[in-house]
Structure 1
Amino acid sequence: MQPLQTRRQFLQIGSLTIASGAIAMGSHQSLTQGTDESSLVTNPLLAITPACGKGDRPTPSRTAGPFYTPNSPKRNSLIESGINGTKLIVIGKVTNRTCQPISRALVDFWQADQAGNYDNSGYKLRGHQFTDSQGRYRLETIVPGLYPGRVRHIHVSVQAANQPILTTQLFFPSEAGNASDGLFNPVLLLRMNSTQPKNQAAFNFVLA
């Protein structure tokens, strides 16, 4: 996990610019300095974001698995040429146990493609971003396929500046294999949007 520590040092020297912006499905808008954060405030997706309760337990950790690749690119959309599958937007916040948002937290994602394969020679479906001033992140990706022996999941590492790294996995509700997966924890279930569009989910990370 040393590469995440390296990016943490990047936070320490204060050279990070935090930016955010709404991403329409199918677009690949990059984060740029000066983007208006109000677009996240008014985004209807926030209605499905899990509520934060004071005293919430820290998000459980899970193994990084065998397919972590260091030094992923900074981006909030993992969709690029050659990536096929059902598009998915995941939003949420990074907070501490008293519901205080953690800005400039590193959130690093990696996952399998729609066929259940990981890109171990490049950075397809891999990328990191930093939370905005209100602790929010927004990821555009696809629903991962089933990796042999595992249930559907997305890997994540989260780190506040100068703090330990949380490495965990996010799971999908109503998956037949959840109950038999050795790493499954219902606390790590994505909260899926129950209304249209249904390709949207939310999860809040709570750091100790």
Structure 2
Amino acid sequence: MTTRRDLLLQAAMLSALPGLGFAQTRGLTLPLEPTPPCGEQAVPTPEQTEGPYYTPQTPQKTQLREPGMAGIPLRIGGLVLSRRCRPVARVMVDVWHADANGQYDNAGYRLRGHQFSDADGRWQFETILPGLYPGRTRHIHVKLQPPRGDILTTQLYFPSEPGNARDGLFDRRLLVQMGGDDTAKIARYDFVLDID
């Protein structure tokens, strides 16, 4: 049942990020500050390895979750910003991750795809919460390619995961803001590119 508190939180997210449609996910409890902060003390989003399962030339799509696919639905999105907190449009955001069983599709493009940030720097994917890959904590791989500038390859992590403390690649600066419940999740991360 949707409570009054849920409706207020949904309205707050809509006003903060119009067009992302985050308010359609139940249990929304996300803070609205950029992650990581940008501005005078801006620190660009940290780079990380692409890992062994990157596949180039992914299809352009925002819907990665397929009908009947196992796993908890996840809506993930945010902004692509410059060091000065300006939105960066036309950035190719390419994502890939394991399925609910921790397996990567290395033959096709399941749970792989890209899109371009809009004029306000917004990006978003409908997918599932990644499963646990042996030896790693839960994560999503991301490549960002701006119209001008270098490609950023990194990974996003989820809060309160027991595997975070054991994963040698884990970086707290790459934690998404998370909300939702056991039936649907929502996550936000604002990338800061090393451009003006």
Aligned residue in 1 for 2:47: 61
Give the distance between the partners of 2:31 and 2:193, measured in 1 at CA. Answer: 20
Unmatched runs of 5 consecutive residues or more in structure 1: 1-37
Q: State the secondary structure of the residue aligned to 1:139.
A: strand
Q: CA deviation at 1:122?
A: 0.2
In the TM superposition, what whole-angstrom CA distance separates every residue of 1:81-135 from its partner, at most 9, and x where no partner exists?
4521100001100001110000011100000000000000000000000000000
* Counterpart position of 1:205: 191
Deviation at 1:53, TM superposition (A): 3.4
Amino acid at match of 2:174: L
Pairwise mapping of residues 20-169 of structure 1 onto structure 2 (< 5 A)? Answer: 40=19, 44=23, 48-51=31-34, 52-54=37-39, 55-81=41-67, 83-169=69-155
Query: Which structure has more RCO (C-alpha within 8 Å, separation ≥ 6)?
Result: 2
Q: Hey, what does 2:160 align to over in structure 1? A: 174
**Which ranges in structure 2 are unaligned for 5 or more consecutive residues?**
1-16
Matched, 1:188 2:167: no
Deviation of 1:156 after TM superposition, in Å, equals 0.2
Q: Quick check: 86-95 or 73-82, which moved more?
A: 73-82
1:193 deviates by 2.1
Preserved CA contact (<8 Å) 2:29 2:179: no
Identity of paired residues, percent?
48
Contact 1:48 1:201 in 2 (8 A): no
- Which AA in structure 2 matches 1:53? C
Q: How far is the alpha carbon of 1:179 from its aligned partner?
A: 1.2
How many residue pairs are counted as aligned between the two chains?
171
